[in-house]
Amino acid sequence: MPTLRSGRQLVAAVRAVLLATVVLGLVYPLVMLGIAQVIRPGGADGSLVTRDGAVVGSTLIGQAFVSASGDALPQYFQSRPSASDYDGAASGGSNLGPNSSELVDAIDERKQQVAALDDVPLADVPADAVTASASGLDPGISPAYAAIQVQRVASARGASAADVAALVDGATHGRDLGFIGAPYVNVLELNLALDERFGTAG
């Protein structure tokens, strides 16, 4: 029973790595690609949303509903703060620690802004409205954050608060199976529904 010496072990290792690269690195992902394109083509491509023939985003990826100068567009529900300004090429969060003075200042400033924009007391501003997500691309806001925005969006669009609130309900996702995760409102879905119902002019 011959024992392979170290040199032969290295030769075997080179062959094994090359073989693995072909089978696990090319065949496996490409076969999965084929399966994915059959069983869920839209999802495999990123759940893209088109409007009037143009891609306006992905239902999974959040975006900033702000003007070119960075001001919140009042006719749209606002997303959470993002450490990367919803840049799809640079996902990530702030990584600031729980006692960071920089984070304290940022949260303080955001609280004032949200309270002013939505005309609510500081105490009513929910935590997710003033903290950045892990991905920087969070598609969701809490139902509480959506609720404080209803009046402002309704005024900006000249619509009734009840009509806007009904659309919020339509874009609200409960916990999966009733107990997994947390309820959230998909902001892009909601704003698309608003545009469809009340027009894009705002």
**Subset of residues 161 to 190 that bind other proteins, contact rule: CB under 8 A:** 173, 175-182, 184, 188
Give me 10's structure tokens: 């290295």
Is 186 in contact with 142 (CB distance < 8 Å)? no
Q: Which of 113, 142, 155, 172 binds other proteins (CB under 8 A)?
A: 142
Phi, psi of 51 (to 5 degrees): -135, 130
| Site size for other proteins (CB under 8 A) | 107
What is the footprint of other proteins within residues 28-47 (CB under 8 A)?
28-33, 35-37, 39-40, 43-47
Residues 11-30 that bind other proteins (CB under 8 A): 11-21, 24-26, 28-30
What's 5's DSSP letter? P
- Residue 139 and residue 157: Cα distance in Å, rounded? 23
DSSP annotation of 128 reads G
To the nearest whole angstrom, how small is the minimum distance from the Cβ of residue 156 to other proteins? 14
Could you say whether residue 134 binds other proteins (CB under 8 A)?
yes
CA-to-CA dists, residue 187 to 18, 78, 92, 137, angstroms? 46, 7, 19, 11
Rounded alpha-carbon distances, angstroms, from residue 124 to 75, 86, 132, 178? 20, 25, 18, 26
- Shortest distance (Å) from residue 188 CB to other proteins: 7
Could you tell me which of 116, 158, 117, 123 has the C-alpha nearest to residue 144? Answer: 123
In residues, how long is the chain?
202
Q: Is 120 in the site for other proteins (CB under 8 A)?
A: no
Alpha carbon distance 186, 59 (integer Å): 8
Q: Which is nearer to other proteins, 21 or 160 (CB)?
A: 21
Pick from 114, 115, 128, 149 the residue near other proteins by CB under 8 A: 128
User: Which of 63, 149 has the CB closer to other proteins?
Assistant: 63
- Least Å distance, CB 163 to other proteins, is 19
Q: How far is the CB of 14 from other proteins (least distance, A)?
A: 5
CB of residue 165 vs other proteins: minimum separation in angstroms?
A: 19
Question: From the list 97, 121, 158, 201, which residue makes contact with other proteins (rule: CB under 8 A)?
Answer: 97
Which of 193, 202, 79 lies closest to 146 in space, CA to CA? 79
